[in-house]
Amino acid sequence: MNFDFSDDQKQLRDQARKFLAEKCSPKAVRVVLDGKAPYDKDLWKGLAEMGFLGVAIPEEFGGAGAGHLELCVIAEEMGRANAPVPFSSTVYLAAEALLIAGSEAQKKKWLPAIASGEAIGTLALFEGKGNPAPKNVKLTAANGVLNGIKKPVADGAIADFAVVAARNGSSGRDSDISLFLVDLKAGGVEIKSLTNLDPTRGQAEITFKDAKAEPLGAAGEGWSILTQVLDRAAVLCAFEQVGGSDRALEMGRDYALDRIAFGRQIGSFQAIKHMLADMYVSATLARSNSYYGAWALSTNAAELPEAAAAARISATQAFQHCAKNNIQVHGGMGFTWEFDCHMYYRRANAMALGLGSLSYWEDQLIDRMRKKNAA
Amino acid sequence: MNFDDTPQEAEFRAIARAWIGANAPKQYEEDLRKSSLGRTVLKNANILEVAKAWQKKKADAGWACLHWPKEYGGRGSSPIERVIWSQEEGPFGQLSRMFIIGHGMCGPTMMAFAREEHKRTYLPPLASGEKVWCQLFSEPAGGSDVAGLRTRAEKDGDDWVINGQKIWTSGAHYSDYGILLTRTDPTVPKHKGLTMFFLDMKSPGVEVRPIKQASGASDFNEVYFTNVRIPDHQRLGEVGDGWNVSLTTLMNERSAIGAAVSTGFHELFEYCSSLMLDDGPAIEDRAVRSKLANWAVKASGLKYTSMRAISALSKGERPGPENSIGKLVAGSMIQDVATYALDLQGASGVVSGEDAELAGRFQAMLLRAPGTRVEGGTDEIMRNIIAERVLGLPGDIRVDKDVPFNKIPTKGR
B-contacting residues of A 54-113, CB under 8 Å?
69
Mean pLDDT of A49-62: 97
Task: DSSP letter for B353, please.
Answer: S
CA distance to partner chain A, nearest, from residue B298 (Å): 7
Residue B162 pLDDT > 60 = yes
Task: DSSP letter for B352, please.
Answer: -
What's the pLDDT score for residue A325? 98
Residue in A closest to B315 by C-alpha: A2
What's the pLDDT score for residue B279? 87
Q: Are the beta carbons of B170 and B101 closer than 8 angstroms? A: yes
Mean pLDDT of A129-148: 96
- Any A CB within 8 A of B412 CB: no
Buried b (16+ CB within 10 A) or exposed e, B43-56: eeeebeebbbebbb
Pick from B273, B304, B397: CB nearest A289: B304
Give the pLDDT band (50/70/90) at residue B35. Answer: confident
CA distance to partner chain B, nearest, from residue A249 (Å): 9
Cα angle B247-B253-B256, degrees, rounded to a multiple of 5: 155
Distance from C-alpha of A301 to C-alpha of A201, rounded to nearest angstrom: 31
- Any B CB within 8 A of A173 CB: no
First to last CA, chain B: 58
Contacts of B328 in chain A (CB under 8 A): 281
- Contact at CB, B393 and A292, closer than 8 angstroms: no
- Any B CB within 8 A of A251 CB: no
- Contact at CB, A366 and B296, closer than 8 angstroms: yes
Contacts of A78 (CB under 8 A, 6+ apart): A20, A85, A87, A240, A243
Residue B256's CB: how many other CB atoms inside 10 A? 16
- Any B CB within 8 A of A261 CB: no
- Catalytic residue of the set B9, B130, B253, B388: B253
Give the pLDDT band (50/70/90) at residue A112. Answer: very high
Residue B355 pLDDT > 70 = no
- Contact at CB, A1 and B3, closer than 8 angstroms: yes
Contacts of A310 in chain B (CB under 8 A): 296-297, 300-301
Distance from C-alpha of A265 to C-alpha of B19, rounded to nearest angstrom: 56
A-contacting residues of B 351-380, CB under 8 Å?
380
β-bridge mates for residue A154, sequence order: A203
Complete DSSP assignment for B118-141: HHHHHHHHHHTTSS-EEEE--BTT
What's the pLDDT score for residue B15? 97
CA distance to partner chain B, nearest, from residue A73 (Å): 12
Low-confidence winner among A53-57, A177-181, B325-329 (lowest mean pLDDT): B325-329
What's the pLDDT score for residue B410? 82
Q: Which residue has the higher pLDDT, A375 or A108?
A: A108
Residue A276 pLDDT > 70 = yes
* Cis ω before B231 (30° cut-off from 0): no
Residue B212 pLDDT > 60 = yes
Residue B312 pLDDT > 70 = yes
Cα angle B67-B72-B78, degrees, rounded to a multiple of 5: 15
- Any B CB within 8 A of A313 CB: yes
For an interface test with A, give the residue of B393, B396, B397 to mutate (most A CBs within 10 A).
B393
What's the pLDDT score for residue B34? 79
Contacts of B184 (CB under 8 A, 6+ apart): B152, B153, B154, B155, B160, B193, B194, B195, B239, B240, B242
Pick from B269, B293, B391: CB nearest A253: B391
Number of H helices, E strands in chain B: 13, 10
Distance from C-alpha of A235 to C-alpha of A195, rounded to nearest angstrom: 27
Q: Which amino acid, B227?
A: N
Nearest residue to A81 (alpha-carbon basis) of A10, A117, A32: A32
What's the pLDDT score for residue A372? 84
Mean pLDDT of B136-165: 92
Strands A161-167 and A177-183: antiparallel
Pick from A4, A264, A285: CB nearest B298: A285
- Any A CB within 8 A of B389 CB: no
Mean pLDDT of A148-159: 98
Residue A159 pLDDT > 80 = yes
Distance from C-alpha of A117 to C-alpha of A52, rounded to nearest angstrom: 10
- Any A CB within 8 A of B275 CB: no
Nearest residue to A71 (alpha-carbon basis) of A362, A344, A294: A294
- Contact at CB, A369 and B304, closer than 8 angstroms: no
Low-confidence winner among A312-316, A357-361, B27-31 (lowest mean pLDDT): B27-31
Complete DSSP assignment for B61-87: TT-SSTTS-GGGTS----HHHHHHHHH
Count how many Cα atoms sit within 13 Å of the Cα of residue B165 in the half-sphere of its side chain.
Answer: 9
For an interface test with B, give the residue of A1, A268, A287, A370 to mutate (most B CBs within 10 A).
A1
Give the pLDDT band (50/70/90) at residue B409. Answer: confident
Distance from C-alpha of A166 to C-alpha of A225, rounded to nearest angstrom: 13
Cα angle B123-B125-B128, degrees, rounded to a multiple of 5: 110
Using one digit for the tens of pLDDT, what is the confidence trace for A192-214? 999 999 999 999 999 999 999 99
Distance from C-alpha of B385 to C-alpha of B378, rounded to nearest angstrom: 11
Cα B2 from chain centroid?
30
Residue A5 pLDDT > 80 = yes
CA distance to partner chain A, nearest, from residue B145 (Å): 16
CA distance to partner chain B, nearest, from residue A135 (Å): 19
Instruction: State the sign of the Cα–Cα–Cα–Cα dihedral A294, A299, A303, A305.
Output: positive
For an interface test with B, give the residue of A68, A273, A321 to mutate (most B CBs within 10 A).
A273
- Any A CB within 8 A of B87 CB: no
Residue in B closest to A273 by C-alpha: B387
Distance from C-alpha of B180 to C-alpha of A240, rounded to nearest angstrom: 50
Mean pLDDT of A18-47: 97
- The 3-state DSSP class for residue B36 equals strand
Give the pLDDT band (50/70/90) at residue B411. Answer: confident
Using one digit for the tens of pLDDT, what is the confidence trace for B364-395? 889 989 988 988 889 999 999 999 999 999 99
Tell me the backbone φ, ψ of residue B409, rounded to 5 degrees.
Answer: -60, 145
- Any A CB within 8 A of B387 CB: yes
Contacts of B391 (CB under 8 A, 6+ apart): A249, A253, A273, A276, A277, A280
What's the pLDDT score for residue B375? 86
Residue B36 pLDDT > 60 = yes
* Cα–Cα distances in angstroms (integers) from residue B398 to residues A194, B191, B395, in the given order: 55, 12, 8
β-bridge mates for residue A141, sequence order: A146
- Contact at CB, B304 and A361, closer than 8 angstroms: no
Contacts of B22 (CB under 8 A, 6+ apart): none
Q: Which amino acid, B9?
A: E
First to last CA, chain A: 26
- Contact at CB, B391 and A289, closer than 8 angstroms: no
What's the pLDDT score for residue B259? 61
Average pLDDT, whole number, for chain A?
A: 97
Residue in A closest to B309 by C-alpha: A3
- Contact at CB, B307 and A288, closer than 8 angstroms: yes
Distance from C-alpha of A35 to C-alpha of B249, rounded to nearest angstrom: 58
For an interface test with A, give the residue of B304, B322, B386, B396 to mutate (most A CBs within 10 A).
B304
Active site residue B253: yes
Residue in A closest to B292 by C-alpha: A366
Residue B253 pLDDT > 70 = no
CA distance to partner chain A, nearest, from residue B153 (Å): 35
Q: What is the 3-state secondary structure (H, E, C) of chain A?
A: CECCCCHHHHHHHHHHHHHHHHHCCHHHHHHHHCCCCCCCHHHHHHHHHCCCCCCCCCHHHCCCCCCHHHHHHHHHHHHHHCCCCCHHHHHHHHHHHHHHHCCHHHHHHHHHHHHCCCCCEEEECCECCCCCCHHHCCCEEECCEEEEEEEEEECCCCCCEEEEEEECCCCCCHHHEEEEEEECCCCCEEEEEECCCCCCCCEEEEEEEEEECEEECCCCCHHHHHHHHHHHHHHHHHHHHHHHHHHHHHHHHHHHHHCEECCEEHHHCHHHHHHHHHHHHHHHHHHHHHHHHHHHHHHCCCCHHHHHHHHHHHHHHHHHHHHHHHHHHHHHHHHCCCCCHHHHHHHHHHHHHHCECHHHHHHHHHHHHHHHHHC
- The 3-state DSSP class for residue B410 equals coil
> What percent of chain A lies above the pLDDT cut of 90?
97
- Contact at CB, B300 and A277, closer than 8 angstroms: no
A-contacting residues of B 1-30, CB under 8 Å?
1-5, 9
Using one digit for the tens of pLDDT, what is the confidence trace for B42-83? 878 888 999 999 999 999 999 999 989 999 999 999 888 998
Pick from B4, B386, B395: CB nearest A1: B4
- Any A CB within 8 A of B308 CB: yes
- Contact at CB, A313 and B293, closer than 8 angstroms: yes
Interface ipTM above 0.85: yes
Complete DSSP assignment for B173-238: GG-SEEEEEEES-TTSBGGGSEEEEEEETTSTTEEEEEPPPTTS----EEEEEEEEEEEGGGEES-
Residue A220 pLDDT > 90 = yes
Mean pLDDT of B249-270: 74
What's the pLDDT score for residue B361? 81
Length of chain B: 413
Mean pLDDT of B173-178: 96
CA distance to partner chain A, nearest, from residue B323 (Å): 10
- Contact at CB, A257 and B296, closer than 8 angstroms: no
Mean pLDDT of A140-147: 96
Q: Are the beta carbons of A280 and A339 closer than 8 angstroms? A: no
Give the A:B interface size as CB pairs under 8 Å.
156
Distance from C-alpha of B127 to C-alpha of B215, rounded to nearest angstrom: 30
* Cα–Cα distances in angstroms (integers) from residue B65 to residues A313, B79, B160, B174, in the given order: 39, 11, 31, 20
Residue B149 pLDDT > 60 = yes
Distance from C-alpha of B136 to C-alpha of B330, rounded to nearest angstrom: 26
- Contact at CB, B293 and A284, closer than 8 angstroms: no
Distance from C-alpha of A160 to C-alpha of A119, rounded to nearest angstrom: 6
Nearest residue to B400 (alpha-carbon basis) of B388, B408, B392, B411: B408
- The 3-state DSSP class for residue B4 equals coil
CA distance to partner chain B, nearest, from residue A349 (Å): 18
Residue B215 pLDDT > 90 = no
